Each structure stands twice: as C-alpha cells, then as structure tokens.
Structure 1
C-alpha cells in the first residue's frame, strides 16, 4: 500500500503519508527516469536497506505533494545542514520524516514547515532526561505516547526553525496537554534575545505511531 493519504494542512500546504511496503526497485518506478541520476548521486551510502527505502520513499512522497500545489517539475535537494528543498521552486518549504513503515511529508508554497513521525517505543521515555524539562517529564508521567509526542513535537519545532545547537530541554518547550487522538500543542522557542510561541498539530495516524507538524504563522498558516 504506497500512498496512504494527501490532505490539506492549510490553504497553502499539503500533508502526505506513505505506508512503505515496496522494495527499492518498485519505488524507483514512481519517479521519472530523468530524475534517477540526480537521486542515485545522492543515495545515502552506508545505510541499511530499510533506511535506503525510507529515504527513497521520501523523495517519491515529496514529488506527490508538490504535484498537488504546482505543475513545475522539480528535484529534491538537501542544503548543507541536510534540510530538503526544491531548487526549481525556492520559496517552497519541504519537510520529511520516517519511522518504521511510515513516511510523512509536508510541503507549503510559502516555506516554513516542520514534520516528524515517531514509532511509540520505550526509548523516548528512557531518553527523556536528555530532551524534556522537569515540568514536561512530570506531565508525561509513565505514558509512552506522551513521551513520544513530546519528542516528536520538539523535532518538528527544530525543523521549523532550522537552528543548529538548540538545547531541546531548555530552548524548545511545550505546555502540558491532555492526550487525545488529535490536537494542537503549544510550543515555545527560547533564544538568547527572543521568545516565540508556535502551535504544533498532532495526530496518531496508525496504532503505535504519532505525528506532529507545524507551519510558519506568517506564511503557510
């Protein structure tokens, strides 16, 4: 089951989910043959077969999302920090994430996006002292889903702001929340000379997974 869903995240942004069941050979067929040399030259060397398939499915999904917004043929690139972008439509924002059998993507015509998908697992709770504040840890308690959501939301905020060196437990903070099937978290970015607040949308796309995404308020919302 390849493309699972395409849905509007706003008037100018589309969110997509891909359930990864294909081999790498099958995924290549979803891309124009003219794009193969570009992506082969950027193939993530050293990754195992599953990671390579996730990477390739992300390129396929990004193409599907772009086609919902623009007819311009475009190739996905990565900047010096590994962030994806379309060179042919430089004003567009792109964010991709993968975990387990799911690949998630978000594209906006005006830039400023972040997305993350996570498999719910004990690891998020085990690593909580490294990325959650004391208040966030108290709110998460023993709930593995909440721990995974906190982690995912901070990854999304990190991607949205594209700043290296952020300390997750001190500079990316989230208000306590009541867990539902879907909702909006309130995130805060604390920098040296500024503070900003950002809504982070979340949902549970499949049993055992959580997904979060955010849009730049001034552009994509």
Structure 2
C-alpha cells in the first residue's frame, strides 16, 4: 500500500508498506517475466516480496511499468537511462527515489535500538550525538551514511571515516549537512529526512 509520495525539485519519491501477498502484487503488473524468473531462483520470501513491491511502487510513481536492471555492485538502473533510481527496503517497507541527479540516494530504516550496538562502526569521535535522543540521532546518522553510500556508489568506503555528518538536532523532518572524504572532490551533501514512529527515511540528490 502506498503510504507516502512526494514530488519536488525534479525528483519523485515514495514509500510502500508491504501488506499484500506476492500474488496480489503480481496481479497489478503486466510485464513480470523477469520477476517470475527471480521468484523461481530465490529461496527468501522476504526478498521476493521486496522485489515485487518495488516494481509496483515504481509503476505507481511513474504511471508506467519499467524493468529495473542491476549493476554488479547492486546499484539499480534503467536500460534507457531515462532517469536515475535509488531503492531501499527495511522491515515492512520499501522506498524509491527518481531523479536526473547522478548523486541520488535514499534509505529507509525501521525504528530500533540496534544502532546502539553498532555505533562504533559508523560514528566518529568528532560527530555529535544528542544523548537525550540517542537512538533517533544514531538512526539518522546510519541512514544518512547509507544514503551517501548509494549516491557515491563506490567500493571500500568506510562509513565511519569517509562520511561525516555535521552537527544537527533531530526534528520530525528537515535536513542536515554532510561531507564525504573518500574522493578527491570531498563532496558536500544535503540530507533530507522524515521521522515517524515506525521508521526514518533519508534521501539526497
């Protein structure tokens, strides 16, 4: 079920809550031969539901069906290069963003305190985490760095040492600034975000 969609500044994105069965979702698609092949070769029901939900969400956003191809590193793209795409999924949700921007990324994460246990893997000593709202702040940092990782699409990036989130105080939605130090360009990113009771989503373009 489509639960959120937004279109602005040349981008379109949305979130789908995976409540339907794979069979019901497939019935909404006409061009599904590649999905059927994927289903036949995949043993994970969760991955099957995610893949089909992505295609239905894509059709909902574009108003037409398009086949998604994947590079060797997992980055999604369209064969006709008509628009760039980034995809994310988490427990019960998938998200897609579409834009002409080459530095495009989106990430959705369900709300959980698991980020506390892996904090040392992605938070540097100079990054600020609000102790009064630690879980949410960590979750937004993690999601933002996943978003930046997808936007750069480079191997061997260190989330802790190559991505740096500038100080911000989490709100229900907004943006914050970040920078990467993996490339010679040291690109700056503006990370947009939305916080709900069930998940957070971050994106950049």
- Name the TM-score, length of structure 1 as normaliser: 0.85
Deviation of 1:122 (Å): 1.6
Distance 1:162 1:194 in 2: 15
Corresponding residue number in structure 2 for 1:29: 27
Deviation of 1:152 (Å): 0.2
Corresponding residue number in structure 1 for 2:71: 79
> Could you report, residue by residue, the CA deviation over 1:152-189 in whole angstroms, capped at 9, with x for unpaired residues?
00000000111111001010110121110001111101
1:1-221 superposed matches below 5 A? 2-10=1-9, 12-32=10-30, 35-43=31-39, 45-67=41-63, 73-88=65-80, 90-136=81-127, 138-141=128-131, 143-191=134-182, 193-204=184-195, 206-215=196-205
> Could you report, residue by residue, the CA deviation over 1:176-204 in whole angstroms, capped at 9, with x for unpaired residues?
21110001111101025331211010001
Deviation of 1:140 (Å): 4.2
Point out where structure 1 has 5 or more consecutive residues left out of the alignment. 216-221
Deviation of 1:46 (Å): 4.5
> Could you report, residue by residue, the CA deviation over 1:76-105 in whole angstroms, capped at 9, with x for unpaired residues?
1111111111113x1411011111122111
Question: Which stretches of structure 1, 4 residues or more, deviate above 6 A after TM superposition?
Answer: none
Deviation of 1:45 (Å): 4.4
| Count of aligned residue pairs for this structure pair | 204
Distance 2:90 2:193 in 1: 16
- Name the TM-score, length of structure 2 as normaliser: 0.91
- Native 8 Å contact 1:91 1:110 kept in 2: no
Point out where structure 2 has 5 or more consecutive residues left out of the alignment. none
